Amino acid sequence: MPFLNIVFLLISVMFASAASAYEPPANASRLVLDRQGIKIWAYQVPDSPLYGFKAVTTVKSTLSGLVALIGDTNNARKWIYRTKAVDLLERNDSARTFAVRVVTDFPWPFRDRDAVVVGSIDQDPNTYRVRIDSHSAQKPVKACCVRMPMVEGSWILKPLPAGMVEITMTGHADPGGYIPTGAVNLLVQEYPYNTLKGLRKIIGEDLYQQAQLAFIAEPSSHKNP
């Protein structure tokens, strides 16, 4: 699979948080959900009435399989919560950078939101940990949607023994326009929980577990025979 068909879906678009984003200390977060192997913490975003989140789960997968899934724009709607469309705008395979436009389906009476997001992928050569970071960029607005003025996001993929991977998804966003703060903060649980649940349902498919990405190294416990 070519890098960046890796259109990092964002990176889960609506929320998730980048390397430059605020990441609270453990004592600044509170556990708000622990269900079906998924834990979610919420935290107050500095200088904002909105909350950010940290969501963690564990799956059996290769690292390439997870990166391939996160970058599979054709199947984004199958697992990324309320994702309506993902369009690749730019990519640089050698630099491992990308730009995508993501449309998020908002329930009536609110208009759909879109965000243009740029980001990159990096892997620690010693620990094999993969990090995918993204943040919003200024691009022309389309008439169909309200532009989200700020989106920051990250996926952290940490290999564990026996072919397991710990997935950490963190982030926050400003949806733009007028939406009650309480409704936005409700998504701090709803969005990452349903997204990670969807990821766990699809990650075992051969399409992903047979993927081999040249820029992703696998620890010996994660290599396919």
Question: For the domain that residue 114 is a member of, what is the CATH number?
Answer: 3.30.530.20
Is residue 42 within 8 A of residue 51, CB to CB? The reply is yes
Spatial distance between the Cα atoms of 141 and 36, rounded to a whole number of angstroms: 38
pLDDT of residue 60: 97
Confirm whether 223 is domain-assigned. Answer: no
Confirm whether 16 is domain-assigned. Answer: no
Confirm whether 12 is domain-assigned. Answer: no
- 192/48: higher pLDDT: 192
Q: How many CA atoms lie within 13 A of 85 on its CB side?
A: 12
pLDDT at 208 over 90: yes
Helix (H, G, I), strand (E, B) or coil at 99: strand
Percent of the chain whose predicted confidence (pLDDT) is above 90: 29
Which domain, by its residues, includes 37?
A: 26-218
pLDDT at 55 over 80: yes
Helix (H, G, I), strand (E, B) or coil at 163: helix
pTM of the prediction? 0.80
What number is the average pLDDT over the span 57-62?
A: 97
In the chain, the number of structural domains is 1
DSSP 9: T
pLDDT at 113 over 60: yes
Question: What pLDDT, in 10s, does the model give residues 86-99?
Answer: 777 777 767 777 77
Confirm whether 3 is domain-assigned. Answer: no
Confirm whether 106 is domain-assigned. Answer: yes
Confirm whether 139 is domain-assigned. Answer: yes
What number is the average pLDDT over the span 6-20?
A: 36
Q: Nearest 5°: phi and psi at 142?
A: -95, 150
Rg for the chain, CA atoms, rounded: 16
Average pLDDT, the chain: 77
pLDDT at 155 over 50: yes
pLDDT of residue 224: 62
Confirm whether 138 is domain-assigned. Answer: yes
DSSP character string of 68-79: HHHTBGGGHHHH
- 185/71: higher pLDDT: 71
pLDDT at 16 over 60: no
Confirm whether 2 is domain-assigned. Answer: no
CA 171 from chain center: how many Å? 8
What number is the average pLDDT over the span 145-167?
A: 86
Spatial distance between the Cα atoms of 196 and 37, rounded to a whole number of angstroms: 10
pLDDT at 140 over 50: yes
pLDDT of residue 138: 73
Question: What pLDDT, in 10s, does the model give residues 158-200?
Answer: 999 999 999 999 876 666 666 666 655 566 678 889 999 999 9
Helix (H, G, I), strand (E, B) or coil at 64: helix
Spatial distance between the Cα atoms of 19 and 1, rounded to a whole number of angstroms: 26
pLDDT classification of 24: cutoffs 50, 70, 90: low
